[in-house]
Homo-oligomer: A and B are copies of this chain.
Amino acid sequence: MIERHLMKLRARDEVDAEEEEAIRGTVAEVREYRSREVIVRSHRALETSNILLSGVACRQKDLSDGRRQITELHVDGDYTDLHSFTLKSLDHEVMALTDCTLAVIPHERLQEITRRFPHLTRVYWFATNLDAAIHREWALSLGRRNAAERMAHLFCELHVRLGLVGLVDGESYALALTQNDLAECLGLTSVHVNRTLMQLREDGLLEFRGGRVTIHDLPRLRALAEFDESYLYLERRRR
């Protein structure tokens, strides 16, 4: 059930059998959400966190006039809101962008495994620090990359992150987002996203249609984005 979550942890650290068992034991419940449903509301006291088992979810913040920014995308196996374990409430919403299945993990169970397994504490601390690293890379995109570079970078990031959990088929992966969702990730309007997608397609870099991304020229895509995957901390080492 949480196999993809374990795959992801194992890509960056060692997790032994006993730790794995403890992690499996943290799951209290499994819930389903429909596309566009809010999974976690902002500014509410929280006593559980969630692992995304399947689907695409996001963290988003907005302004009063409706301007909205997605600050991170989540895919299968991601903890969407592990940070609420110490924050106790969130500064953003977590929302389902497609139908989603999530495992619910009570904070008290996290408290317990961090007490029993100091190493797992660091594994999960690392995981939240990785989210922050992704935020920083997005800040670089939003602040300094133009539309095409930003978009190329996002597709490269997802290519790696989905690849880690076995969801990339050749150079293609499922991504059931709307162009407006992309716009809210990239700090653009959906109209400009549409035009930028067409440009990337005409340039032979990739196609995005029917909820699927097909990369035609990964080296050029990475070069355009100046994509350097080191911010995803892919080394498997003791944390």
Nearest-CB residue, chain B, relative to A82: B129
Stretch of A22-30, A31-39, A130-138, A164-172 that contacts chain B: A130-138
Closest chain-B Cβ to A125's Cβ sits at a distance in Å of: 5
Closest chain-B Cβ to A28's Cβ sits at a distance in Å of: 20
A-B contact pairs, 18 of them (CB 8 A): A61-B136, A62-B144, A67-B144, A71-B135, A72-B136, A83-B132, A83-B133, A87-B130, A88-B237, A91-B136, A91-B230, A91-B231, A128-B132, A129-B132, A131-B132, A132-B135, A135-B136, A135-B139
Contact B88 A187 (CB under 8 A): no
Flag whether A63 is at the interface (Cβ < 8 A).
Answer: yes
Q: How many angstroms between the C-alpha atoms of A132 and B137 in the bound complex? A: 12
- By Cβ-Cβ distance, the 7 closest A-B pairs, closest first, are A143-B187, A135-B135, A142-B142, A132-B132, A91-B231, A86-B126, A69-B143
Please give the count of copies of this chain that the complex contains.
2
**Which residues of chain A have a CB within 8 Å of any CB of chain B?**
43, 59, 61-64, 67-69, 71-72, 83, 85-88, 91-92, 114-115, 118, 121-122, 125-126, 128-133, 135-140, 142-145, 186-187, 226, 230-231, 233, 235, 237, 239
**A140 surroundings in chain B (CB, below 8 A):** 61-63, 69, 71
Contact B126 A125 (CB under 8 A): no
Closest chain-B Cβ to A162's Cβ sits at a distance in Å of: 20
**A85 surroundings in chain B (CB, below 8 A):** 125
Contact A63 B136 (CB under 8 A): no
**A130 surroundings in chain B (CB, below 8 A):** 87
| Neighbour of A69 across the interface among B92, B139, B230, CB < 8 A | B139
**A68 surroundings in chain B (CB, below 8 A):** 144
Contact A142 B87 (CB under 8 A): no
Contact A87 B233 (CB under 8 A): yes
Nearest-CB residue, chain B, relative to A231: B91
| Neighbour of A114 across the interface among B71, B121, B131, CB < 8 A | B121
Q: How many angstroms between the C-alpha atoms of A83 and B129 in the bound complex? A: 6
| Neighbour of A118 across the interface among B64, B69, B115, B125, CB < 8 A | B115
Most chain B beta-carbon neighbours within 10 Å: one of A85, A139, A231:
A139
